[in-house]
Amino acid sequence: MSRRVLITGLGAVSALGMTRDELWQGLVSGQSAIKTFEHSLGDIKITKGATVPPFDPQEYFSNDELSVLDRYSQLAVIAAQEAVDDAGLVCGEEILTDAAAIIGSGCGGKHTDEATYDALYKQQRSRAHPLTIPKGMPSAAASMVSLHLGIKGPAFVLASACASGSHAIIQGMTMIQSGMIDVALVGASDAPFTYGLIKSWDALRVVSNDTCRPFSANRSGMVLGEGAGMLLLESEEHANDRNARVYAEMVGCGMTSDAGHITRPDVSGITNAITNALHHAGISPEQVDYINAHGTATKANDVVETSAIKAVFGDHAADIAISGTKSMHGHALGASSALELVATTLALHHGTIPPTANFTEADEECDLDYVPNAAREQAISTALSNSFAFGGLNAVIALKKYI
């Protein structure tokens, strides 16, 4: 029989602020952190994003540490440290030494890559910085989190585009369920605001220059964000032995691949992921109170996600509160699913459902309860967090109130 997995610590860096509490307060107040870029990006049509508030990295790291910390690794370590502190753990303790650090990322160290290419191709320098590889490698965030927090168990990065955070979190959950480890620090980090990446998203023509309006009739696309979300997971026995405060229980997951179009979502793939999560969790559709939707505000995603929810939940779909928090923290790519699970955990813990911000009028094909514009006080016993990625990669996580 698999072991129960509890969430005992949370950390977040987002466009709403540098802490978990700032993320939560921004969400429940319906505050959208999407804003116009302060500096012109030249020939790029994208003018808006959800960027992390300006911060001084030297307040968190020494100059020597910064020499090997890409921006995405900085955000990962800051959020990871908060999650560990929140759980009441201390760097160097045996608990952390034996833990796992499993981090998701859709982009990796793109700031390092871009600075290198700029130096070599634009500035015509003859050499790259000697620490370019360890700073920019996709696995850097896991290595840096491990190093800064003294974690010596399994440590690695998972990449599955916008589902990276969910897949990393699921990996940690299943490792605890199996008995392989007792503690896992899991989550994701992404920092996609480089010229090359924004130029590439511009070419896809799925990014809005208005704002992110999930499920609204006049939605015009996604808005890029950045940040990191981290969760400290423990086996029930381990958490109870140290009298840890528990936010929620992770009870199940569903993962599927569409094996279809590289960018267009598929109803059957999403439907199967949700169904599998319910089955793995041992919960019925009627037990679900809240869904944190993938909700990108693209024309295709919102209709397909709504259709999948209806297919799984039938008449009960109309009774489920659904919110798209990307309307506030932006689409932070691989980190979005981790930030959204932090939000889902806090919603369940506080009995408050964050809204779908910027909502105007519902699309006729999106006719469910999207909690428009204002948070709702509502007891939640069971919740889902949906994440769907380019390449047809789907991940759904189920949480329950811990009793």
Q: Which residues are catalytic?
A: 162, 294, 331
Regarding whether 199 and 263 lie in a shared domain, the answer is no
Q: 192, 211, 241: which is the final residue of a domain?
A: 241
Q: Is the pLDDT of residue 1 over 90?
A: no
Domain count, the chain: 2
Decide if 229 is inside a domain.
Answer: yes
Decide if 138 is inside a domain.
Answer: yes
Regarding whether 11 and 150 lie in a shared domain, the answer is yes
Decide if 402 is inside a domain.
Answer: no
Helix (H) or strand (E) holding 270: helix 267-281
Q: Is 22 left (phi over 0), alpha (psi -120 to 50) or beta?
A: alpha
Cβ neighbours for 102, distance < 8 A, ≥ 6 positions apart: 142, 154, 155, 156, 157, 158, 168, 169, 171, 172, 175, 184, 185, 186
Closest Cα partner for 315 from 287, 293, 288, 286?
Answer: 286
Regarding whether 232 and 191 lie in a shared domain, the answer is yes
Regarding whether 182 and 328 lie in a shared domain, the answer is no
Regarding whether 298 and 162 lie in a shared domain, the answer is no
Per-residue pLDDT, 346? 98
Cα 354 from chain centre = 15
Q: Is the pLDDT of residue 2 over 90?
A: no
Instruction: List C-alpha distances in Å: 264 to 223, 260, 277, 287.
Output: 17, 8, 22, 30
Name the one residue in this structure whose structure tokens are 């802490």.
Answer: 19
Regarding whether 313 and 233 lie in a shared domain, the answer is no
> Residue 324 is part of which domain span?
252-397
Regarding whether 171 and 30 lie in a shared domain, the answer is yes
Q: Can you tell me the distance from the alpha carbon of 120 to that of 114, in angstroms, rounded to the nearest whole number?
A: 10
Q: Average pLDDT of 288-303?
A: 98
Decide if 403 is inside a domain.
Answer: no
Regarding whether 229 and 112 lie in a shared domain, the answer is yes
Cβ neighbours for 284, distance < 8 A, ≥ 6 positions apart: 278
Sign for the CA dihedral angle at 68, 181, 275, 375 comes to negative
Decide if 247 is inside a domain.
Answer: no
Q: Average pLDDT of 93-106?
A: 94
Pairing of strands 248-257, 393-400: antiparallel
Per-residue pLDDT, 216? 98
Regarding whether 164 and 42 lie in a shared domain, the answer is yes
pLDDT digits (tens, 9 = 90+) for 254-274: 999 999 999 999 999 999 999
Regarding whether 148 and 47 lie in a shared domain, the answer is yes
Name the one residue in this structure whose structure tokens are 């540490």.
Answer: 65
Q: 210, 241, 272: which is the final residue of a domain?
A: 241
pLDDT digits (tens, 9 = 90+) for 356-383: 999 999 999 999 999 999 999 999 999 9
When pLDDT is cut at 50, 70 and 90, the band that residue 91 belongs to is confident
Cα 228 from chain centre = 7
pLDDT digits (tens, 9 = 90+) for 35-45: 999 877 778 99
Q: Average pLDDT of 266-290?
A: 98
Q: 241, 272, 290: which is the final residue of a domain?
A: 241
CATH number of 124's domain: 3.40.47.10
Decide if 278 is inside a domain.
Answer: yes
Q: Average pLDDT of 142-163?
A: 97
Is residue 30 within 8 A of residue 328, CB to CB? The reply is yes
Task: Report residue 247 as tokens.
Answer: 């936010």
Within 10 angstroms of residue 259's Cβ, the number of other Cβ atoms is: 9
Please report the DSSP string for 273-340 in residue order.
Answer: HHHHHHHHHT--GGG--EEE------HHHHHHHHHHHHHHHGGGGGGSEEE-THHHH-B-THHHHHHH
Decide if 256 is inside a domain.
Answer: yes
Regarding whether 211 and 260 lie in a shared domain, the answer is no
Is residue 43 within 8 A of residue 55, CB to CB? The reply is no
Decide if 216 is inside a domain.
Answer: yes
Within 10 angstroms of residue 147's Cβ, the number of other Cβ atoms is: 16
Burial of residue 152 (number of CB atoms within 10 Å: 0-12, 13-18, 19+): middle
Q: Taking CA 107 as the corner, what is the angle to CA 89 and CA 334, rounded to the nearest 5 degrees?
A: 55
pLDDT digits (tens, 9 = 90+) for 177-199: 999 999 999 999 999 999 999 99
Regarding whether 276 and 225 lie in a shared domain, the answer is no
Q: Is the pLDDT of residue 217 over 90?
A: yes
Q: Which residues pair with 387 in a beta bridge?
A: 395
Q: Is 264 left (phi over 0), alpha (psi -120 to 50) or beta?
A: beta
